[in-house]
Amino acid sequence: MLSNYKNIDISILVSITNMKLRNEGQTLDDFCIRYEIEKEILVERCNKNNFIYDEQQRQFKIFSR
């Protein structure tokens, strides 16, 4: 499911990522290693779509200005 993380709809990507981070209790680094995701690409894609990663809560959140 996450093998197409470079092309999947951003809302779906964020939803799946947040669910897995929450349910599996992982850090973003651990998540990326487990699912063979390039962290820089994931974060950059999310940032371009107004999502930022909150390390304390271990989730991507919409960034409102």
Q: What is the pLDDT of residue 1?
A: 65
Q: Mean pLDDT score of the chain, rounded to an integer?
A: 94
Tokens of 6: 């470079």
pTM of the entire predicted model: 0.89
The phi, psi pair for 9, rounded to 5°, reads: -50, 135
Pick 2-62's CATH classification: 3.40.50, 1.20.950, 1.10.10, 2.150.10. Answer: 1.10.10
Domain ranges of the chain: 2-62
**pLDDT per residue as tens digits for the range 10-37:** 999 999 999 999 999 889 999 999 999 9
In 1-65, the DSSP E strands lie at 51-54, 59-62
Q: What is the pLDDT of residue 6?
A: 93
Distance, CA of 40 to CA of 25 (rounded, Å)? 20
Q: What is the pLDDT of residue 55?
A: 93
Q: What is the pLDDT of residue 25?
A: 86
